[in-house]
Structures are given as C-alpha cells and as structure tokens.
Amino acid sequence: MQRLFCTILLCSFAIGCGDSTAPIITPPTKVCEKQTDCGAAEVCIDTSCQPISNAQCKTNEDCIDGQKCLSNGNCQIAECEVDSECCPGGAACDKVCQNFTCYGTECSDGQTEPCLVVCHEGVKRCERGAWLACDAEPVVPEEICIDDIDNDCNGLTDDGCKVCAAGEVRTCTSQCGEGQETCTAGGQWAPCDAPLDCTCDAGDSTTQPCGNCGEQSGTCSPDGVFVFSDLCIGEGECAATSAESEACGKCGSQVRLCDTECSWQKWSECTDEGVCEPGESEEEGCGNCGSRTRTCTDTCSWGDWSACVDGAGCQDGEVQTKTCGLCGTQTSTCDTQCQWSDFGICENEGVCTPGEVESQECGNCGDQTRTCDDGCQWGPWTSCLGAGECAPGEAETQPCGPDSSLGICEQGQQTRTCNAVCQFGAWGSCFGAVFPTAEICGNGLDEDCSGSDMTQPDEYEYNNSCDQCTWLGDDPTTTLNATFDNPSDEWDYFCFNGIDNASVPGFGERVKVELSNQAIGMDADIYLWRGASFSSAVSSCESGTNTDIGNNNGNAQLIGPGDESLDWVETVGSNDSGIFIIGVKSWEATGFGCAKAYQLYVKGLK
C-alpha cells in the first residue's frame, strides 16, 4: 500500500519511485497570470509558478524551427512577445506586439492608396497595420517595344522601337493640358509638347500645416497651382513643445509644457519654495519669560530675530496658529516657562493650491477647466469649450466632378477625414469623375459634354450612298473641293447625265475623273459606274460591278495619298448615253477626325 501511494504521488511529478536518491518535489501552489507574478527563479506555466527547471526552453535554440522561446519558458509560434521585438535593434518605432504578432500603426487593414514606382502608377495595400510595397510595374533598364509603356521611366515611350511613320502627328495630353507629339525620323514619338508647369489637376484639393497645429486648405486653380486659404482652422492653444512658468506657493514656481497636439499639459508641482509667506511673523520665548520675533522676507525666508524682551513672553496655555501647506494650519502652545512650543504637523489641508487651474478633455477635442478656490478646494468644471465638428478618424463623402452629366461626363466622389484636432481636412481628390475633353469630330461621342457629337458636313452632303449621290448635271466640267466629314464617312458619291454626241472616228468622247490634294494621312480611291437609267446605274454602283465601264477603266486604286486618275473612252459604234456615278472611297478615314479634304476634277462625256 505504501509503495502504491509512492507511485501515485511521486511518479506524477516524473520522479522514479524506485530511485531512493531522487528528490521529492512539492507541487507548485503559487497562482500566476503573467511572468512578473513569479519569483526570479520561477516561470509562469499553466497559471502556476514553477521552478525554472520545469521550463521547456531557455533560448530559441531549444525550440523547433519556426517557434520562439517565451519568457515563461514555453516554445510557441510567435513573432514577438513585447513591442521592442517589432522594431529594428529594439529601438522605438510605430509597431506594437499583439497576440505574439507585430502590427503597424500607420494604416488600417484593407486600406488602399494610389502609389508610384518612379513613373509607373499602382496601388499599395495596408496589411497588419503597415503599408505593403506598391504593386506598380517595376522599372526595367531596357525599353520593351510596342507596349505603349515607358518601361525605363526616361520620359519616352517605346524609345528605340519604330512605332510610327516619320512626320506623323498625334494629339497627346499631360496633367496640365493637351498638346501634340510628332514622329521622328527614327520612327519614335518625340516628347509631348503639352504644358508641364503645373502641380495639380482640376478638382484636386490638399492641406498644409499652419499656426499651432492648424491646417490651411488649398484648391487647384485654373493655372494648375494650389491656392491656399488665409484661414488657419483647428489651431491649438500653444506652440507645440513650448513651455511657460508662473509663481506658486512660497516664492516657488511651476511649469507646464505644450504637447505635440498644441494643448497645455497640467502644471508641474511647485518647486524651489521658501519656508514662509512674505510678511508672516513668528515669536519664540527667550530670557526670563521674554520673547522675540522675526518676520518673513520678500524672498520667503526668515529675517533675523529681534532683541529679547523680558516679560513679554506668552501666557501659559496660550495657543497660536499659522497657515501651512494647502490651506492647512499648524499649532504652537505656550508652556509654563512662557515659551512657545514648536509648531505641530500641518492639519486640515485642502486638495489644491488657490488659483491653480486643472483641465480635462471633453467632447470632440474640447476642453473644460476648474479652478482651486481660496479654501484649497476644486470649484466646478466649466462648460466644454473648443469642441470640434467631428471625431478624429471620422470620414464623410460628397459627389464631385463636372457640372454637366451629358456625353461622357460622369460624377465622382471625394472624401475628407477628421484630423487629430477634430476638424475636417480638405476634400481629397475626385475619384471616378470624367471631365469634358476636346471634342473629336464625328466619332459618335460627346467629349465636351455639350449634348451632341460634332460633325462638319461639306456642301455636297448628304451623299454617302449610291442612290443619294450629288447631282452635277449634264456632261459637267467642274472641280469639287470636298471632304470626308466624320471618321465613319467612307464614301462620297457624285453623279451626272452623260450625253453621247457625234464624234470623229478615232477621236471618241471620254469621261475623265481626277483625285488630287488629299489631306495628310488619307488614302482615297475613285470608281466609276454607268447605267442606261439612274436605277440601273445605282444597281451597278451598289453591286460594285464594272460591266458597262470595263474592268480596266472602271476604277483607280493606288496605295497612298498620291494623285489618282480615271479616264474612260466611249464605245465606238454604240450609244453610250446614260447616268454616270463617281465613287470616292476613303480607306483610312476612321480615326482621323473630321473634314479630311480632297479635290475632285470631273469632265463629263465630251
């Protein structure tokens, strides 16, 4: 039975009962919640203080990979145990240790902000209270051809690659407006000549510090420069880190400091006090029941004792008092030798110094005070003064953007956040807004938000189909200055009545059509169809057949903007009268805007 008891009691503490030399360990009885509840040679394990020898580890090397040796001797997966382990070298930083994990304090988890890697735009995300790296495309030393990205951030896009035709011009923009860029002889786009001398975009706003922790709001002017208000809002009561002092007590002084949020801290304790109040006097016995006196000087120190006056001592049992401390009193009693006893302890003191002011926060960054009265007791708190319009961190949003909602224009949203002094900061950038831009003629979009797309039809419109050709009369001889009036205008049609007159053999009548003076970037071709009647001519035109004209003479299709000519000679021995339809086809009209001009010479059947 005794051996069974030994086995139950001792073996539960990992001590072999058969070993007579093994020590008997008394189970720990001291309860703990944290390591500091235990002694220097103990560790807190499972809410009880145990000998340090019971710990699993002493250093991180005693734990498996990925675990840390905690101060209680336990191995655990942990990044930190105290705040200093989250900071390089143990120095102070904006990180804290929570549940064995390091968290930053610079942002809220899930929060995002736009960011730049040199010239590449991206977004950065907050994780565990700290900003992760910007996800913008990395900058590389060599340009990647034909991706329309300035890969090496040297201010040129696709430099070193032939991306355009020499002399070609296109519209470009900067943050400050529109301009043009021209293709160089090497096939590269030269830098955009749009203005760059601005610091902001329309709709942007910002803030800058002013005064005592205040803020000035700024808005972007039409010139692209931030203009700041003269009003400094949210100022504190003092300059951050400044100090002031005032007299207190018995010729002493007290100091208060202005904190980093421009608010006064509490007054310090009164220091460098003297021993008495100026003008105060005290008396003591001397000689034969005599007395002498001394008076406190302006520096709160006792003056010299007066000469002893015999017989002027106090009366037995007489009591005198003087003030002390915080409105307290000290008592001295006259003894049988006509001598005043030493003053006793200071009794019945109050809680503050008369005139002392105490403050506390209230409301949204507000402040209220109370003043110590003449009885060294605190008076009532004042009403809450200086409260702000919001609570720190509070945010509100509002719509922003262009005044018009027509065309491409869309409203965006901007946000402002309450700052540390409980004042709303300036409105942030307007996200999601689409502002008016220069109108592109005839592309079906209303870029300037005027309510309609711009077109520039010439005097011959509407002539975009075979059956709506512009009528030129009987065998005309004329030169037409026409245009393709919008990017989707691919065909212009002209028609006339051809009359077959008598002709000398060998010198037959002919129809001549010439296309010249094409605008830069154009490639137009000319076509000719004929029919005995208007309807048959339209049918030939719509089917694209050249049966009556002849395959060799019915069209002129040359690549590029050069002049083109179509010359059709009448058929000998037949009547060639009929309706002739001329088609001008633009192969590259799309994307080149409105009013791409050309000149068309027409000579009828003569």
What are the pLDDT digits (tens) for 465-481?
999 999 999 999 999 99
Largest CA-CA distance found in the chain, in angstroms, rounded? 172
User: Pick the residue with more confidence: 195 or 275?
Assistant: 275
Q: Which of 518, 546, 510, 514 is nearest to 531 (CA)?
A: 546
Those residues whose C-beta lies under 8 Å from the C-beta of residue 553, and which sit 6 or more positions away, are 528, 546, 566, 567, 568, 569
Q: Tens digit of pLDDT for each residue in 362-412? A: 988 888 999 999 989 999 999 998 888 899 999 999 999 898 889 889 999
DSSP state of 387: -
Which tokens go with 81?
């145990």
CA 528 to mean position of chain CA atoms: 63
State both tokens at 37.
């509840």
Query: Is residue 288 a contact partner of residue 306, using CB atoms and an 8 Å limit?
Result: no
In angstroms, the CA 435 to CA 406 distance is 10
Q: Give the pLDDT of residue 545.
A: 67
User: Domain 466-603 maps to which CATH number in 3.40.718.10, 3.40.50.720, 2.60.120.380, 3.40.50.1970?
Assistant: 2.60.120.380
pLDDT of residue 550: 45
53, 45 Cβ separation under 8 angstroms: no
Euclidean distance between CA atoms 316 and 209, whole angstroms:
72
Query: What span, in angstroms and rounded, lies between the C-alpha atoms of 280 and 299?
Result: 12
Mean pLDDT in the chain?
80
Outline which parts of the chain fall under CATH 2.60.120.380.
466-603
Q: Are 331 and 319 in contact (CB under 8 A)?
A: yes
**556 vs 289 pLDDT, higher one:** 289
* Mean pLDDT of the region 513-534: 88
Identify which has the larger pLDDT, 500 or 41: 500
pLDDT, mean of residues 7-31:
46
- Bridge partners of 359, per DSSP, are 369
Q: Which residue has the higher pLDDT, 434 or 201?
A: 434
Instruction: Say how far apart CA 408 and CA 218 lie, in whole Å.
Output: 28
Q: What is the pLDDT of residue 372?
A: 93
Instruction: Out of 21-25, 246-250, 573-577, 586-590, pick the least confident.
Output: 21-25
Mean pLDDT of 125-143: 84
- Counting residues of the chain whose pLDDT is more than 90, the rounded percentage is 17
- Measured CA to CA, the distance from residue 65 to residue 58 in angstroms comes to 15
- The per-residue pLDDT for 513 is 93
Can you tell me whether residue 2 is helix, strand or coil? helix
pLDDT of 151: 82
Q: And the tokens for 217?
A: 């709001």
What is the band of 29 on the pLDDT scale with cuts at 50, 70, 90? low
Give the Cα separation of 537 and 544 in Å (integer): 10
Q: What is the pLDDT of residue 10?
A: 36
Q: Which residue has the higher pLDDT, 21 or 8?
A: 21
| Contact between 47 and 31 (Cβ < 8 Å) | yes
CA pair distance 527, 558, nearest whole angstrom: 12
From 330, 331, 333, 332, select the one nearest 349 (Cα to Cα). Answer: 330
Q: What mean pLDDT comes out for the span 145-154?
A: 78
Closest C-alpha among 107, 353, 348, 319 to residue 246: 353
Higher pLDDT, 426 or 443: 426
Q: Which residue has the higher pLDDT, 58 or 541?
A: 541
- What local confidence, expressed as pLDDT, does residue 395 receive? 92
Give the pTM.
0.34
Judge contact between 125 and 111, C-beta under 8 A. yes
Measure the CA–CA gap between 189 and 169, rounded to whole angstroms: 9
Give the distance, in angstroms, between the CA of residue 379 and the centroid of all CA atoms in the same chain. 46
- Phi and psi (nearest 5°) for 479? -115, 125
Provide the 3-class DSSP secondary structure of residue 84: helix
| Contact between 176 and 196 (Cβ < 8 Å) | yes
- 319-324 vs 328-333, strand pairing mode: antiparallel
What value does the mean pLDDT take over residues 63-73? 80
- pLDDT tier at 195, thresholds 50, 70, 90: low
E strand segments, 31-85: 42-45, 48-51, 68-69, 75-76
CA-based angle 13:17:18, to the nearest 5? Answer: 150
Residue 18's pLDDT band, with cuts at 50, 70 and 90, is very low
Say if residue 4's pLDDT is above 80: no
Using the predicted structure, report yes or no on whether residue 272 has a pLDDT greater than 90: no
Phi, psi of 548 (to 5 degrees): -75, -25
Is residue 43 classed exposed, middle or buried when 0-12, 13-18 and 19+ CB atoms within 10 A define those classes? buried
Residues ≥6 apart with Cβ < 8 Å to 408 = 434, 436, 437, 445, 446, 447, 449
